[in-house]
Amino acid sequence: MKTGLKTLIRPAGRDAAEAAARTLAAGGLVAFPTETVYGLGADAANAVAIAHLYAAKGRPAFNPLIAHVADLAAAKRIGRFDARATALAETFWPGPLTLVVPKTDDCPVAELATAGLDTVAIRIPAHPVAQDILRAFGGAVVAPSANISGHVSPTLAAHVEADLSGRIDLIVDGGQVEVGVESTIVGCFEAPMLLRPGGLARERIEAVLGAPLARPPADLESDSIQPLAPGMLASHYAPRAAVRLNARDVEPGEALLAFGPARSPGCEAAAAVMNLSPTGDLDEAAANLFGYLRALDAKSPRGIAVMPVPEDGLGEAINDRLRRAAVAR
C-alpha cells in the first residue's frame, strides 16, 4: 500500500473535478461524494490502482466493485443489457441502483475489480460532483465506500479524512450526501434478484419489472460460494487446473505461480512460469493475481504450483483467494 501520502482536500467545483480526473488517470485514489455515500475512486481499468484501493481500505477481501460511469452509453460499453436491465437503467439512472450484468467481450474493467467473474456491477450516480468527475475523467471509476473496512460508511468529507488521510491522494468535499446508504443492487439474471437492499426501494423496482425480485439463496454468503455482487462474501475465479499451495518445488507437468526473487527447484521444467511480483510487492501481486491464474490455466497444465505469499497486508486477501482456488471441486 502507498503510505505517507499527503491527502489533499479540495472543495467541489470545476477545478476539483479536473484535479480528480488527473489523479485518477495517474493511478491515484480520489474520494468524492455520490448521492448514497462518499466513494473511494480508482480507474476501473488500472489493476494496480485497484490493488492500492483495496490496501487503503484495509483488510481487503477482493469482493467485486461497482463501476461508476457517466451515462448509459458508457455503461453499455462495459456491460450487456437485456430488455429488463435496460428498463431499470432508463427508469432509475442516474440514481442509487446498481445493476449486475454480463460483461461485454471487450470490457475494459480490470479482473481485479470484477473478482474474476463474467459479470460487472454498474451504476450511474446522480450526484452532480460525481457526474462532473466522471465526465472529466472519461472512463469507468470503481468506487466502494471511502472508509476503512468495517467502519460506518462516510456521508461527509470529514468522515473520509478521519479514516483515510495519508492513505489516498485527494478528497473532493461536496458536503453532506443525500441518501446516506449504499445503492440497491439487482442481479439481472434469468430471474432478476435483489442482491443488496439499499437506497432504492424494492417495490419501485418490482413495479417496473412487473414481477417480484428473487431472493438470493440462503447459503450465498458462505465463504465457499462465489459472489454475485459487491457487498457479499466472495469466492474468486477458480481455474480448471488443481492448485497446490505453499509449493517449495515444481512437479512434472505443473505450471508455477511464483512470488518474489527466489526460484523454486524444478521451475526450469515447468509447463509455464508467471511471477506475481519478482520484487515481492503485494500490491503488484494483487493486481496480477486473477489475470495470471487465467493465463497459467490456459496452458492446460497438470496443476498450478503456487509459491508461498506472506499473509501481511494484501497478502491476507491473496492467500484467501488462493485457498479458495485450491479447494477440491
* Mean pLDDT across 304-310: 96
pLDDT > 50? residue 150: yes
Per-residue model confidence (pLDDT) at position 315: 87
Within 13 Å and on the Cβ side, how many CA atoms surround 284? 11
Position 5 confidence tier, pLDDT thresholds 50, 70, 90: confident
- Band of pLDDT at residue 33, cut at 50, 70 and 90: very high
Give percent of the chain with pLDDT exceeding 70: 91
pLDDT at 79 over 80: yes
| Domains delineated in the chain | 8-209 (3.90.870.10), 242-326 (3.40.50.11030)
- Side by side, the strands of the sheet bearing 119-123 are 8-11, 170-173, 30-33, 38-43, 141-142, 66-68, 119-123, 97-102, 184-187, 193-196
**Predicted pLDDT at 224:** 46
What was the pLDDT predicted at 251? 94
Q: Given this model, what pLDDT does residue 162 score?
A: 92
Predicted local distance difference test score (pLDDT) of residue 269: 87
Which is more confident, 327 or 73?
73
Q: Give pLDDT, residue 314.
A: 82
The helix or strand, by DSSP H or E, that contains position 200, with its residue range, turns out to be: none
Cell of 50: 485497484
What's the whole-number mean pLDDT along residues 78-99? 98
Residues 254-295 have pLDDT tens digits of 999 999 998 888 888 899 999 999 999 988 888 888 889 989
Determine the Cα–Cα distance for residues 252 and 305; give it in Å rounded to an integer: 11
Q: What is the pTM of this model?
A: 0.83
